[in-house]
């Protein structure tokens, strides 16, 4: 199979998902005003599940003149992204804005297109594919953030994310153009050849790589490119925040892993130190800046910054083990993060959303089930065994240790302990503070998500074997 | 020789109009200079043998983008003199940044080596293929996935523009197309014989039928609470 053949069936999951998105859009427009959200969301969930089935059976190979690649790594990331999308969609079902109206039906369509962008990113074999996928994914999210347009914080979130995101896209494009200028190609295979050919590395290529890293770090909300995260997480409608913390992060990580260990893999000693720095800064900042937070959505924003730092540790290791560890970490993060946001979406009092930490006071008595679920997620985020988060952290620490990054591991462990303070504070507020007014009874879909994610967090160890095997395959596909 | 002369003419006008775009006082003139710049750039493309790009530049940039700019400039009430004040205040900083960027560019270009032609997967057009055909092959065959994905990006932008701005409120006044089509001339048009010097209103005419709007409007789009009041106003006001 030559690199120039079209071989279009490789992108069948993406094509099917795009067509499904168009059909759902038309279907939604034909519904009566404000009525389409439930049916559109269910259709989108069905489309995601169908797409996931197609992803599982999709063959390996390179398609579309070498712009699109399908391998074990792409499949792993696509499944994660689709799962994240499904969870966020279920959360939108019962969500009501402060005016007590559901989100418009376009929410489901935009989540679908954003996830489609994430899938394209996971399969990128060319910097152009990377950029188009990233834009499709980000543009949808900018709009999703501002969906509650009568809410000032939501509009602010959308605008802030849009402006800063455009800047990041510009930096990314600048980096790509430099790489293209110095290597003469944008295909990853061509870049590998060009870097191996060039005896001394041209400085322009290195500068381009740094710019690409900056652009991707922004999407990952890694310190020092994290400024937008707390405001956007707080302002966006909660199900959208849940989505943002899931699928797009996995996609950006997929890009990071693919670009760094693929075309720039031979330059590893040069970028390793940068990734280390990003990882350390994110872990430390995520841990310390979260301490004074009183809003649980902001808290989760800082928590996500910290988690991205830990996940980057695996990449900093620059080994197959490291990539595998990052993949397992992301899978664990998906599960516990989705659970936490299901609980946050359920935090309502007299139909209005409450997001302050003090609103959780006494939840242990007023709603023991929900409190237990949130406590499980918090312990998992800390990394307490035998919950999901523990295995993720264990693996990235082990991978970094094997690669001799002892400083990184020590700092990671310390910030993990600091992070435990604010995670456990949530547990303390729920169980030991004087009870405030009880929250509304959560919708069944939210109970379902938080319950199932809670079980997945507790019994993560049972799925660990097959998951590690899959992650290993994915990492090998990337390295080879 | 001729080609060189034409090149320098186009290039000079292009540079000049570029400078004018950012220096003229009147924003409408700036847009017009922008259009001139586009035309000259198209001319340069023609000289370089890229006739398809030249046409594209004229059709897309002059035909669509520049006209859009013109609309924006004319529709939005932007105080350009105020913007200009900011420019003067920040000029030193801007000059510094510009100088640094320029130095960087010089450094980058000074150790620039061209990559060997066609290094790594770039697709070469077959000899005897026109530019348009070669571009078509690239866009619609090799990079069809990216092309379609770009289309989806535009679709998302459109959905976003609609979902963020469309408000189905009382002031919407959406038409019910069927009712609109079913209306006859007698329903809406009244002919009045007017003596000289007389006003239509004094002869029993009306400015517009008091009920005409909400008879043909989609129920609810007119704002239920406002209907009687506004109809009344139209009648009495007339």
Provide, as residue numbers in chain A, all residues whose Cβ is less than 8 Å from the Cβ of B121.
3-4, 65-66, 185, 187, 189-190
Shortest CA distance from B168: residue in chain A: A33
**Interface residue B112 vs chain A (CB under 8 A):** yes
Query: What is the number of alpha carbons within 13 Å of residue A189 lying toward its C-beta?
Result: 15
Q: Which residues of A2-19 are buried (b: 16+ CB within 10 A; e: fewer)?
A: ebeeebeebbbbbbbbbe
Pairwise CB contact (< 8 Å): A203 & B111: yes
Q: Is the ipTM of this complex over 0.95?
A: no
Within a 10 A sphere around the Cβ of A432, how many other Cβ atoms?
Answer: 10
* Integer Cα distance of A273 and A43 in angstroms: 45
End-to-end CA, chain A: 18
Pairwise CB contact (< 8 Å): B146 & A66: no
Pairwise CB contact (< 8 Å): B121 & A3: yes
Which 3 state secondary structure label does DSSP give A287? helix
Provide, as residue numbers in chain B, all residues whose Cβ is less than 8 Å from the Cβ of A136.
149, 152-153, 156
Which 3 state secondary structure label does DSSP give B66? helix
Q: Pick from A75, A58, A74, A73: which is nearest to A10 by CA?
A: A58
Q: What confidence category does residue B212 fall into, taking pLDDT thresholds of 50, 70 and 90?
A: low
pLDDT value at B238 more than 70:
no
Shortest CA distance from A34: residue in chain B: B168
Pairwise CB contact (< 8 Å): B163 & A147: yes
* Integer Cα distance of A196 and A186 in angstroms: 15
- The residue that leads in pLDDT, B35 or A436, is B35
Q: What confidence category does residue B236 fall into, taking pLDDT thresholds of 50, 70 and 90?
A: very low
Residue A8: what pLDDT?
80
* Token representation of residue A167: 């800047």
pLDDT value at B230 more than 80:
no
**Interface residue B153 vs chain A (CB under 8 A):** yes
Q: Which of A132, A146, A194 sits opposite B150 (nearest CB)?
A: A132
* Integer Cα distance of A301 and B200 in angstroms: 67
Provide, as residue numbers in chain B, all residues whose Cβ is less than 8 Å from the Cβ of A146.
164
Give the percent of chain A with pLDDT over 70. Answer: 98
Determine the distance in angstroms separating the CA of A217 from the nearest CA of chain B, rounded to an integer. 22
Provide, as residue numbers in chain B, all residues whose Cβ is less than 8 Å from the Cβ of A11.
145
> How far, CA to CA in Å, does A172 sit from each of A125, A208, A367?
16, 8, 46
Provide, as residue numbers in chain B, all residues whose Cβ is less than 8 Å from the Cβ of A14.
145
| Average pLDDT rounded to a whole number, residues A47-58 | 94
Please work out, in degrees rounded to the nearest 5, the angle formed at the alpha carbon of residue A192 by the alpha carbons of A12 and A476.
60
Residue A401: what pLDDT?
92
What's the mean pLDDT when you consider all of chain B? 77
Site from A61, A105, A184, A237 to mutate, B interface, most B CB atoms within 10 angstroms: A184
Tell me which residue has tokens 């009244």: B190
Q: Which of A25, A143, A207 sits opposite B164 (nearest CB)?
A: A143
pLDDT in tens, A136-193: 999 999 999 999 888 899 999 999 999 999 999 999 999 999 889 888 888 888 888 8
Which CATH number does B1-88 carry?
A: 1.20.120.1200
* Integer Cα distance of A477 and A466 in angstroms: 16
* Token representation of residue A306: 């910290």
Residue A89: what pLDDT?
94
| Average pLDDT rounded to a whole number, residues A331-350 | 91
Pairwise CB contact (< 8 Å): B163 & A143: yes
Provide, as residue numbers in chain A, all residues whose Cβ is less than 8 Å from the Cβ of B146.
64, 67, 128-129, 132
Residue B132 contacts residue A56 (beta carbons within 8 Å): no
Q: Which of A65, A142, A191 sits opposite B123 (nearest CB)?
A: A65
pTM (2 d.p.): 0.85
pLDDT in tens, A373-386: 999 999 999 988 88
Q: What is the dihedral of CA B127, B130, B135, B141, to 10 degrees?
A: -70
What's the mean pLDDT when you consider all of chain A? 90
End-to-end CA, chain B: 74
* Token representation of residue B1: 């020789």
The residues that bridge with A61 in the sheet, in sequence order, are A70
Pairwise CB contact (< 8 Å): A143 & B143: no
pLDDT in tens, A65-97: 888 999 999 999 999 999 999 999 999 988 888
Pairwise CB contact (< 8 Å): B115 & A142: no
Q: Kindly report the three-state secondary structure assignment for every residue of A320-353.
A: HHHHHHHHHHHHHHHHHHHHHHHHHHHCEECCEE
Provide, as residue numbers in chain B, all residues whose Cβ is less than 8 Å from the Cβ of A109.
159
pLDDT in tens, A348-376: 888 888 889 888 888 888 889 999 999 99
A-B Cβ pairs (cutoff 8 Å, strict): 121
Pairwise CB contact (< 8 Å): B119 & A106: no
Residue A325: what pLDDT?
93
Give the percent of chain A with pLDDT over 90. Answer: 58
Pairwise CB contact (< 8 Å): A139 & B145: no
Pairwise CB contact (< 8 Å): A184 & B116: yes
Residue A310: what pLDDT?
94
Break chain B into its structural domains and give their ranges. 1-88, 177-237
pLDDT value at B175 more than 60:
yes
Q: What is the dihedral of CA A410, A415, A235, A130, to 10 degrees?
A: 0
Pairwise CB contact (< 8 Å): B111 & A202: yes
> How far, CA to CA in Å, does A210 sit from each of A274, A307, A380?
9, 22, 33
Is the dihedral angle over the CA atoms B149, B151, B155, B156 positive or is it negative?
positive
Residues contacting A124, CB < 8 A, separation 6+: A67, A68, A69, A130, A133, A188, A255, A258
- The residue that leads in pLDDT, A309 or B48, is A309
Residue B6 contacts residue B43 (beta carbons within 8 Å): yes
- Within its chain, how far is the Cα of A136 from the centroid? 15
Tell me which residue has tokens 């792993």: A76
* Integer Cα distance of B171 and A95 in angstroms: 28
Tell me which residue has tokens 């402060």: A98
* Token representation of residue A445: 């879909």
């Amino acid at each position: 199979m030559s690199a120039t053949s079209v071989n279009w069936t490789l992108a069948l999951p993406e094509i099917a998902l795009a067509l499904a998105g168009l059909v759902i859009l038309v279907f939604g427009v034909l519904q009566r005003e404000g009525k389409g959200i439930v049916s559109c969301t269910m259709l989108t969930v069905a489309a995601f599940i169908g797409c996931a089935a197609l992803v599982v059976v999709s063959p390996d190979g390179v398609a579309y003149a070498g712009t699109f690649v399908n391998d074990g790594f792409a499949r792993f990331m696509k499944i994660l992204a689709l799962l994240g999308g499904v969870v966020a969609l279920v959360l939108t079902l019962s969500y009501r804005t402060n005016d007590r109206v559901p989100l418009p039906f376009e929410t489901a369509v935009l989540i679908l297109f954003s996830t489609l962008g994430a899938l394209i990113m996971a399969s990128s074999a060319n910097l152009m594919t990377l950029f188009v996928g990233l834009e499709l994914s980000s543009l949808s999210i900018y709009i999703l953030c501002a969906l509650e347009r009568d809410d000032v914080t939501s509009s602010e979130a959308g605008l802030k994310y849009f402006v800063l995101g455009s800047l990041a896209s510009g930096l990314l494009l600048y980096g790509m153009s430099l790489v293209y200028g110095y290597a003469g190609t944008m295909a990853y295979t061509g870049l590998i050849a060009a870097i191996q050919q060039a005896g001394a590395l041209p400085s322009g290529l290195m500068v381009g790589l740094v710019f690409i890293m900056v652009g991707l770090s922004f999407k990952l909300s890694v310190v020092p490119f994290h400024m937008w995260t707390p405001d956007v997480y707080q302002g966006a409608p909660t199900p959208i925040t849940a989505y943002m913390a899931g699928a797009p992060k996995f996609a950006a990580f997929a890009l990071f892993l693919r670009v760094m260990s693929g075309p720039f893999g031979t330059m590893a000693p040069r970028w390793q130190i940068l990734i280390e720095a990003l990882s350390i800064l994110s872990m430390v900042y995520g841990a310390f800046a979260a301490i004074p937070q009183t809003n649980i959505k902001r808290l989760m924003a800082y928590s996500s910054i910290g988690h991205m730092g830990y996940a980057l540790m695996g990449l900093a290791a620059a080994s197959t083990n490291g990539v595998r560890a990052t993949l397992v970490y992301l899978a664990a993060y998906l599960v516990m993060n989705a659970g936490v946001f299901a609980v946050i979406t359920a935090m309502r009092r007299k139909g209005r959303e409450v997001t302050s930490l003090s609103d959780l006071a006494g939840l242990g008595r007023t709603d023991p089930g929900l409190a237990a679920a949130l406590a499980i997620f918090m312990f998992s985020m800390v990394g307490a065994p035998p919950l999901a988060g523990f295995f993720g952290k264990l693996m990235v620490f082990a991978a970094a240790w094997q690669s001799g990054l002892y400083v990184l591991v020590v700092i990671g462990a310390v910030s993990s302990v600091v992070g435990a303070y604010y995670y456990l504070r949530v547990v303390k507020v729920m169980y030991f503070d004087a009870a405030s007014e009880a929250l509304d009874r959560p919708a069944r879909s939210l109970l379902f998500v938080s319950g199932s994610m809670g079980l997945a967090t507790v019994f993560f160890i049972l799925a660990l074997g097959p998951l590690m095997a899959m992650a290993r395959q994915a990492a090998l596909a990337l390295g080879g | 020789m001729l080609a060189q002369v034409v090149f320098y003419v186009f290039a000079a006008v292009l540079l000049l109009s570029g400078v004018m775009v950012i220096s003229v006082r009147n924003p409408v003139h700036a847009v017009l200079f922008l259009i001139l710049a586009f035309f000259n750039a198209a001319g340069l493309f023609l000289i370089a043998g890229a006739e398809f790009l030249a046409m594209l530049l004229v059709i897309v940039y002059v035909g669509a983008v520049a006209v859009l700019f013109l609309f924006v400039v004319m529709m939005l009430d932007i105080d350009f003199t105020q913007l200009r004040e900011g420019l003067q205040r920040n000029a030193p900083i801007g000059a510094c940044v510009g100088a640094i960027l320029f130095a960087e560019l010089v450094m980058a270009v000074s150790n620039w080596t061209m990559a060997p032609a066609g290094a790594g997967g770039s697709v070469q057009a077959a000899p005897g293929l026109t530019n348009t055909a070669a571009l078509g092959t690239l866009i619609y065959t090799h990079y069809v996935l990216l092309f379609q994905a770009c289309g989806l990006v535009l679709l998302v932008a459109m959905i976003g523009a609609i979902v963020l701005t469309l408000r189905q409120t009382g002031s919407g006044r959406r038409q019910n197309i069927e009712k609109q089509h079913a209306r006859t001339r007698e329903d809406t048009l009244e002919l009045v014989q007017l003596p000289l010097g007389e006003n239509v209103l004094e002869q029993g005419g009306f400015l517009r039928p008091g009920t005409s709007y909400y008879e043909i409007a989609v129920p609810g789009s007119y704002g239920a609470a406002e209907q009687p009041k506004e109809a009344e106003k139209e009648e009495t006001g007339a």
